[in-house]
């Protein structure tokens, strides 16, 4: 997924950075002599590319993997891994500031050492990069080529002047941040996920444009580090695709963390004056200007489809939606498949992984696995986290499915109370009159962990009735799911069963 | 008011509360144009929603002998003539546009105040009040005929379909400076009366599909053991019910759930109690007989004496359960406004709340809110003055509890019957033919 030129790291070249670099794009690398023909050529070595290359090679395929920049893609280098590392530190600072709520003392010196935060992040990133290393790939039998890939026909692609011929190919070139077209933004300079993790100093004042997952996560984290943070979101709600109640809880959390929230607000122009960035904001008929030291944009992503000469390969694509694939992830060229961000609506690491596995089966083993059969959860790693799987209520209504939602506020869960982590809820949507789970949204400190149980139930076809029989260790926050299942049982049994049971028990007395 | 030992609030107390609420509309009105102030605070503008409550309050007052019929007709006519003759150009200084009105108006001139929005829901409350008046003042006198003609004209000129702005559901508001507001207004909310009136229009109706599109955003939830159509703030479960009797009538959604909106509001009352009993944030005062989390004024952090508060405080905000916002602020009026849905619970709750926090009432009128957690010298923080919407909903809901007068009047109101019918409501009183004669001279018992 990391085949974009702008992600050159300017992070301090410390031991960790050298290790990561050596793992994901070693200096002096020489591309191998290509095989006469490959079972599978994979273009892009992000999550999808790495998964496909390893899986295909493990099954005995002759595989080539082409990467323009860094192995591991966005997730490892400029996405999930570094963001989760700094979010952990930000969470710790927040807890230390609120130590008295937990019956503890606030440490005497709560100075944020931003360089230490980033040093830890780089160490973690380097460690995790070992799994994605070129060494592991070559040991697995994968031919790794660094350079820009360019199709020369329906069965061939070149990299650095070398032609690779293939029986099947998979395009997994990923996506890059979309740059909002705000006059003056480019001239003033701005941060995206591709360069924010290279920062060596904490911006004193930060404007985050975009209330999507990335914007929300980093706005909260930087505010917790001490940046005076404003988040401006053009929609009237955060995370507009999520449940409104999730956005309400997140809004409260932001306020607690000192994030200034500007909903229904667009940034319309940027200029630099006196060394600071002045950003004009408009909310309906209200106009204002904010002065900040850095601007972070998180307004969506665009697929990397340029420079591949897809026309030569007969692969249809769209600049906004990416490579066109069918439900089997096959492109308009039957020999070529696509996986990950470059072709998927849900641009997540785990979706890239799952789609790559589908491609390996469908491309190499005549599989007929469908993308639409996947049950895909996702999570935004704010505090509390917001996780979802399956249908939203309105999506179900649009399909004319009657929905009932079993809601357990986290303040009804003993462990959440004990942990002081009561903000949030578990909502499980079932088809009315049945126990079939259509979807779920969880807002909780560890929602990302909790959603997996619901996903498992959905994939395995387990309904709430069965979930109610699953003993959950007490006390755990995951017990909220059991409580939702118990609530289902309660409504199923009452009041008819209660009447019957009462009579029977009365007769037994 | 003696409520020692918290016996349920008595009929006499209800009468006092109701009459005190009505007195707001006598105190806060500009008799020259019928506009009523949003609040009793200095320099408050008029609120068109509050005017809607005033137009509904006059028939109640006539029936209870608090006002002569002639006085009520004159006040209503003054109000309605003002709106008929108001500037409808939609300019920033006008009074309205396309039959709608700006939310806040200058008490004297009636022009737009505070750069407020053209408010769809507040216009709907104004028109609901006007239709209530037209249903009550049915005499064949020159004044009452004129009253009914103006109401008809005001209703007919509203371009409800314009508020869709090409979308599936009604927009919240519009401003001359920026057009329709970009606020999401999905999910169950107070807009039922707006949709019903928009559907019932003989001139510019919206379609049944628009109503269905709105109900498609509903969330039917099992929360604290109650199945109900979820909305956090309590007022959502009350305001449309001030004018429309939802007992026993069902749209497609409620038929599917084997419930109705009235029963749903009763369950919403129970959910408030359950939340207050749990009191997850540990606020002072909360309990099964002390609740009322709703849209109301609040102890904003901006108030200097509260600057040291560790928790986040809000000013005027739509507080809700169970997800907040909740800063420990409750509204006594909101509990009372659920009286028709759960009378036993509400009568006891009102009694307990008034016994514990008598500062919640001044001049027998409910404050917008109080916050026992922010008590100073054993006295809860109390919102200053009184808000017209709060007095209006207390007045109408007590009346609906006691006599169902407003419901009886609007049952016979063609736009409301038509609107409900087009929304897919069936059953109950809707199946019965509207009588030709209305109870125009007293309470419809």
Q: Distance between CA A348 and CA B172 in Å, rounded?
A: 34
CATH number reported for the structural domain that contains residue A204 in this entry: 3.50.50.60
| pLDDT grade for A239, boundaries at 50, 70 and 90 | confident
Instruction: Calculate ∠ Cα B291-B293-B295, nearest 5°.
Output: 145
Nearest to A398 among B183, B184, B216 (CB): B216
- Nearest Cβ partner for B220 among A235, A405, A490: A405
Give which of A266, A405, A468 to mutate to test B binding, by max B Cβ within 10 Å. A405
pLDDT tens digits, A77-97: 999 999 999 999 999 999 999
Residues A409 and A416: their CA atoms lie apart, in Å, by: 10
Kindly determine whether residue A407 and residue B221, on different chains, have CB atoms separated by under 8 Å: yes
For chains A and B, CB pairs below 8 A equal: 85
CB A175 within 8 A of CB A342: yes
Asked if residue A307 and residue A163 are part of one domain, the reply reads: yes
The predicted-structure confidence for A164-194, as pLDDT tens digits, reads as follows: 999 999 999 999 999 889 999 999 999 999 9
Would A330 be classed as within a structural domain?
Answer: yes
Flag if B221 and A255 touch (Cβ within 8 Å).
Answer: no
Taking the Cβ of residue A285 and every Cβ of chain B, the question of whether any pair is shorter than 8 Å is answered with yes
Pairing status of strand A276-283 against strand B295-296: unpaired
Tell me the nearest-neighbour CA distance from B117 into chain A, angstroms.
10
What is the distance between the alpha carbons of residues A210 and A208, in angstroms, rounded to a whole number?
6
The neighbour count for residue A102, using CB atoms within 10 Å, is 11
- Are the beta carbons of B225 and A252 separated by less than 8 Å? no
Under DSSP, is residue B435 helix (H, G, I), strand (E, B) or coil?
coil
Kindly state the tokens that stand for B332: 């006594």
CA distance A396 to chain B (A): 9
Are A61 and A50 members of one domain? yes
Non-local (6+) Cβ contacts of A220 within 8 A are A87, A90, A253, A254, A257, A259, A382, A383
Cβ(A243)–Cβ(A441) below 8 Å: yes
Same domain, A418 and A330: no
Chain B residue with Cα closest to A101: B310
The pLDDT tens digits for B387-434 are 999 999 999 999 999 999 999 999 999 999 999 999 999 999 998 866
Indicate whether A341 and A408 sit together in one domain: no
Count of helix runs (H) and strand runs (E) in chain A: 17, 23
B280 touches chain A (CB under 8 A): yes
Which chain B residues have a beta carbon less than 8 Å from that of A253?
none
- What six digits make up the tokens of B113? 């105040």
Residue A280 lies in a domain: yes
The conformation of residue A39, written as its DSSP 8-state character, comes to: E
How much is the average pLDDT of B229-251? 98
Average pLDDT over residues B236-251: 98
Over pLDDT 90: what percentage of chain B? 88
**Alpha helices for B237-342 (secondary structure H):** 239-243, 252-257, 261-278, 332-336
Over chain A, what is the mean pLDDT? Answer: 94
Task: Give the nearest chain B residue to A402 (CA atoms).
Answer: B256
How high is the pLDDT of residue B38? 98
**Residues 6+ away with beta carbon under 8 Å from A439:** A388, A389, A390, A391, A392, A395, A396, A428, A429, A458
Q: Best residue in B179, B219, B271 to probe A by mutation, most A CBs within 10 Å?
A: B219
Q: Flag if B187 and A244 touch (Cβ within 8 Å).
A: yes
Which residue among A310, A341, A373 closes a domain? A373
Q: What is the C-alpha to C-alpha distance for residues A372 and B297, in angstroms, rounded to an integer?
A: 48
Range of the domain at A426: 384-496
How sure is the predictor about A243, in pLDDT bands with cuts at 50, 70 and 90?
confident
- Name the residue among B329, B331, B330, B335 with its Cα closest to residue B268: B335
pLDDT(A471) > 80: yes
Task: Report which DSSP code applies to A372.
Answer: G
| Integer Cα distance of B313 and A59 in angstroms | 61
A235 touches chain B (CB under 8 A): yes
* Residues on chain B touching A252 (C-beta within 8 angstroms): 312, 324-325
pLDDT of residue A3: 32
Residue A118: inside a domain: no
Give the C-alpha separation, B104 to B94, whole Å: 11
Task: Identify whether residues A308 and A336 lie together within a single domain.
Answer: yes
pLDDT of residue A368: 94
CATH 3.90.1150.10 fits B11-431, yes or no: no
Residue A228 Cα to chain centre, angstroms: 25
Distance of CA B17 to the CA centre of its chain: 17
For A60, what's the count of Cα atoms within 13 Å in the CB-facing half-sphere?
2
- Report whether pLDDT(B183) > 80: no
Q: Which residue has the tokens 């665009």?
A: A302
pLDDT tens digits for B41-71?
999 999 999 999 999 999 999 999 999 999 9
The C-alpha R_g of chain A, in whole angstroms, comes to: 25
Residues of A in contact with B256 (CB under 8 A): 402, 432
| 3-state SS class at B376 | strand
Q: Given this model, what pLDDT does residue B445 score?
A: 25
Cα separation of B130 and B150, whole Å?
A: 9
Question: Which residue from A minimizes the CA distance to B226?
Answer: A491
Spatial separation of the C-alpha atoms in residues B43 and B113, rounded to whole Å: 11
Phi, psi angles (nearest 5°) of residue A2? -105, 75
- Residues in contact with B296: Cβ distance below 8 Å, sequence separation at least 6, in sequence order: B316, B317, B319, B329, B331, B334, B368, B369, B383, B387, B390
The burial of A269, by beta-carbon neighbours within 10 Å (0-12 exposed, 13-18 middle, 19 or more buried), is given as middle
Start-to-end CA span in chain B (Å): 28
Residue A435 domain flag: yes
CA distances from B152 to B244, B277, B326 (A): 19, 47, 42
CATH of the domain at A425: 3.30.390.30
Q: Quick check: A378 pLDDT over 60?
A: yes
Could you tell me if A258 and A321 lie in one domain? no
Q: Write down the pLDDT at residue A500.
A: 79
Asked if residue A363 is part of any domain, the answer here is yes
- Nearest-CB residue to B175 (from A285, A405, A422): A285
Nearest to A252 among B221, B232, B324 (CB): B324
B165: contact with A, CB 8 A cutoff: no
CA A190 to chain B, closest CA, distance in angstroms equals 27
The pLDDT of residue B307 is 55
- Residues A154, A45, single domain; the answer is yes
Backbone angles phi, psi at B290, to 5 degrees: -150, 100
A244 and A350 in one domain?
no
Confidence class for position A144, pLDDT limits 50, 70, 90? very high
Q: Which two tokens stand for residue B311?
A: 């928790």
For residues B9 and B19, give the distance between their C-alpha atoms in angstroms, rounded to a whole number: 15
Quick check: is A504 in a domain?
no
Number of structural domains chain A divides into: 3
Q: Is the CB of A235 less than 8 angstroms away from the CB of B184?
A: yes
**Residue A237 pLDDT > 90:** no
Cβ of B114 under 8 Å from any chain A Cβ? no
Beta bridge partners of A318: A322
Query: How high is the ipTM of this complex?
Result: 0.91
Q: Is A405 on the interface with B (CB under 8 A)?
A: yes
B221 touches chain A (CB under 8 A): yes
Chain A residues close to B182, C-beta within 8 Å? 234-236, 264, 284
Q: What is residue B4's predicted lDDT score, i.e. its pLDDT?
A: 40
pLDDT digits (tens, 9 = 90+) for A300-331: 899 999 999 999 999 999 999 999 999 999 99
Compute CA distances A325 → A202, A336, A367, A370, whole Å.
42, 10, 15, 11
Q: Is B323 close to A394, i.e. CB distance below 8 A? A: no
B167 touches chain A (CB under 8 A): no
**B325 pLDDT exceeds 70?**
yes
Q: What's the pLDDT score for residue B441? A: 38
Same domain, A256 and A220: yes
A225 in the same domain as A158? no
> Within 10 A of A148 (CB to CB), how many other CB atoms are there?
16
What φ, ψ does residue A36 adopt, rounded to 5°? -65, -35
| Alpha carbon distance B4, B346 (integer Å) | 16
Domain chopping of chain B, boundaries:
11-431
Give the tens place of pLDDT for each residue, A53-75.
999 999 999 999 999 999 999 99
Contact between A488 and A406 under an 8 Å Cβ cutoff? The reply is: yes
**For residue A186, what are its two tokens?**
């480019």
Q: Decide if B142 contacts B150 (C-beta within 8 A).
A: no
Cβ neighbours of residue A222 under 8 Å, at least 6 residues apart?
A90, A202, A203, A206, A208, A229, A296
Chain B partners of A411 at a C-beta cutoff of 8 Å?
A: 278, 280, 322
The fraction of chain B above a pLDDT of 70, given in percent, is: 92
**pLDDT of the residue at B305:** 61
Q: What does the pLDDT look like over B199-226, one tens digit per residue?
A: 999 999 999 999 999 999 999 999 999 9
Residues A281 and A390 in one domain: no
Say whether A402 and B324 touch across the interface (CB within 8 A). no
A117 touches chain B (CB under 8 A): no
Burial A486-505 (b: 16+ CB within 10 A, else e): ebbbeeeeeeeeeeeeeeee
Residue in chain B nearest A491 by alpha carbon:
B225
Query: Three-state secondary structure along B139-166?
Result: CCCHHHHHHHHHHHHHHHCCCHHHHHCC
Query: Can you read off the two tokens belonging to residue A384?
Result: 């509390």
Lowest mean pLDDT among A5-14, A113-122, B93-102: A5-14
Cα A410 to Cα A243: distance, rounded to the nearest angstrom = 16
Q: Helices marked H in A236-381 — which ranges? A: 244-257, 310-313, 349-364
Q: What are the start-end ranges of the H helices in A270-419? A: 310-313, 349-364, 393-398, 414-419
Whether the bond into A384 is cis, omega within 30 of 0: yes
Q: Which residue has the tokens 């959603």?
A: A451
Look at residue B301 in the predicted model and tell me its pLDDT: 65
Q: Residues A225, A204: contact at Cβ < 8 Å?
A: no
Measured between beta carbons, the chain B residues lying within 8 angstroms of A256 are 312
CA of B185: which chain A residue's CA is closest?
Answer: A236
Pair (A256, A404) in one structural domain? no
User: Is A156 in contact with A173 (CB distance < 8 Å)?
Assistant: no
Query: Which helix H or strand E contains B389, and what residues bound it?
Result: helix B388-402
Distance from CA of A109 to the nearest CA of B (A): 21
Q: State yes or no: pLDDT of A6 exceeds 50.
A: no
The pLDDT of A373-386, averaged and rounded, is: 96
């Amino acid at each position: 997924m990391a085949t974009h030129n702008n992600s050159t790291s300017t992070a301090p070249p410390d031991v960790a950075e050298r290790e990561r670099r050596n793992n994901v794009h070693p200096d002096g690398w020489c591309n191998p002599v290509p095989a006469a023909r490959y079972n599978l050529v994979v273009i892009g070595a992000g999550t999808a590319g790495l998964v496909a290359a390893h899986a295909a090679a493990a099954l005995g395929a002759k595989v080539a993997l082409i990467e323009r920049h860094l192995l591991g893609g966005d997730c490892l280098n400029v996405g999930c891994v570094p963001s989760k590392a700094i979010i952990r530190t930000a969470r710790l600072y927040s807890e230390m500031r609120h130590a008295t709520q937990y019956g503890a003392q606030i440490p005497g010196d709560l100075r944020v050492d931003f360089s230490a935060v980033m040093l830890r992040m780089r160490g973690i990133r380097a460690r995790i990069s070992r799994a994605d290393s070129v060494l592991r790939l070559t040991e697995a039998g994968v031919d790794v080529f660094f350079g820009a890939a360019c199709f020369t026909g329906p069965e061939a692609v070149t990299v650095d002047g070398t032609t690779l011929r293939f029986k099947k190919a998979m395009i997994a070139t990923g996506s890059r941040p979309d740059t909002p077209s705000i006059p003056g933004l480019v001239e003033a300079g701005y941060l995206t996920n591709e360069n924010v993790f290279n920062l060596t100093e904490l911006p004193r004042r930060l404007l985050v444009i975009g209330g999507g997952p990335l914007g929300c996560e980093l706005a909260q984290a930087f505010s917790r580090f001490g940046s005076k943070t404003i988040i401006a979101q053009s929609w009237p709600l955060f995370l507009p695709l999520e449940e409104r109640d999730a956005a309400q809880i997140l809004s409260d959390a932001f306020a607690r963390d000192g994030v200034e929230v500007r909903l229904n607000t667009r940034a319309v122009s940027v200029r630099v004056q006196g060394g600071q960035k002045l950003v004009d904001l408009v909310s309906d008929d209200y106009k204002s200007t904010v002065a900040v030291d850095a601007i972070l944009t998180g307004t969506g992503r665009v697929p990397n489809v340029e420079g591949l000469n897809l026309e030569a390969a007969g692969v249809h694509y769209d600049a906004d939606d990416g490579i066109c694939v069918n439900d089997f992830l096959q492109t308009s060229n039957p020999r070529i498949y696509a996986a990950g961000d470059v072709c998927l609506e849900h641009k997540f690491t785990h979706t890239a992984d799952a789609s790559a596995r589908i491609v390996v089966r469908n491309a190499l083993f005549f599989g007929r696995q469908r993308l639409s059969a996947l049950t895909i959860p996702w999570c935004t790693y704010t505090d509390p986290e917001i996780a979802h799987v399956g249908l939203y209520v309105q999506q179900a209504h649009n399909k004319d499915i009657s929905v009932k939602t079993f809601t357990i506020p986290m303040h009804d869960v003993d462990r959440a109370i004990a942990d002081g982590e009561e903000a949030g809820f578990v909502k499980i949507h079932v088809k009315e009159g049945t126990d079939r789970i259509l979807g779920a949204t969880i807002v909780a400190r560890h929602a990302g962990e909790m959603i997996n149980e619901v996903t498992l139930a959905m994939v395995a076809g387990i309904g709430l009735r069965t979930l109610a029989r699953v003993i959950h260790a007490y006390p755990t926050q995951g017990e909220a799911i059991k409580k939702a299942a118990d609530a289902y049982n309660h409504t199923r049994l009452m009041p008819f069963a209660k009447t019957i049971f009462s009579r029977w028990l009365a007769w037994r007395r | 008011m003696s409520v020692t030992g918290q016996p349920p609030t008595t009929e006499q107390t209800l009468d006092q509360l109701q009459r005190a609420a009505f007195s707001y509309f006598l105190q806060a009105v500009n008799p020259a144009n019928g506009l009523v102030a949003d609040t009793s605070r200095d320099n408050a503008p008029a609120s068109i929603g509050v005017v809607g409550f005033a137009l509904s309050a006059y028939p109640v007052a006539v029936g209870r002998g608090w006002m002569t019929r002639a006085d009520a007709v004159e006040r209503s006519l003054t109000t309605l003539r003002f709106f008929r003759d108001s500037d409808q150009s939609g300019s920033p200084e006008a009074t309205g546009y396309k039959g709608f009105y700006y939310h806040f108006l200058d008490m004297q001139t009636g022009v737009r105040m505070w750069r407020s929005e053209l408010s769809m829901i507040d216009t709907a409350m104004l028109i609901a009040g006007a239709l209530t008046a037209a249903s009550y003042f049915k005499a064949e006198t020159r004044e009452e005929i004129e009253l009914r003609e103006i109401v008809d004209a005001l209703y007919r000129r509203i371009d409800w379909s314009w508020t869709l702005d090409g979308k599936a559901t009604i927009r919240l508001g519009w401003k001359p400076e920026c057009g329709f507001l970009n606020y999401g207004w999905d999910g169950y909310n107070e807009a039922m009366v707006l949709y019903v009136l928009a559907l019932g229009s003989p001139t510019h109706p919206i379609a049944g599909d628009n109503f269905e599109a709105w109900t498609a955003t509903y969330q039917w939830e099992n929360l604290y053991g109650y199945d109900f159509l979820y909305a956090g703030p309590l007022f959502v479960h009350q305001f449309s019910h001030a004018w429309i009797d939802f007992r026993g009538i069902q749209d497609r959604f409620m038929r599917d759930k084997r419930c109705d909106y009235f029963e749903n509001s009763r369950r919403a009352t129970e959910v408030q109690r359950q939340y207050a009993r749990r009191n997850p944030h540990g606020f002072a005062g909360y309990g099964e007989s002390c609740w009322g989390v709703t849209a109301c004024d609040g102890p904003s952090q901006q108030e200097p004496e509260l600057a040291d508060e560790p928790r986040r405080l809000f000013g005027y905000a739509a507080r809700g359960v169970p997800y907040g916002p909740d800063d420990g602020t409750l509204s006594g009026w909101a509990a009372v406004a659920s009286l028709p849905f759960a009378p036993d619970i509400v009568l006891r709750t009102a009694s307990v709340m008034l016994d514990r926090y008598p500062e919640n009432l001044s001049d027998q009128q409910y404050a917008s809110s109080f916050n026992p957690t922010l008590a100073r010298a054993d006295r809860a923080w109390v919102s200053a003055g009184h808000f017209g919407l709060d007095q209006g909903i207390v007045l109408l809901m007590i009346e609906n509890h006691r006599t169902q007068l407003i419901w009886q009047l609007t049952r016979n109101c063609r736009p409301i019957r038509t609107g409900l019918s087009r929304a897919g409501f069936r059953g109950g009183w809707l199946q019965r033919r509207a009588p030709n004669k209305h109870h125009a001279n007293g309470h419809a018992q």
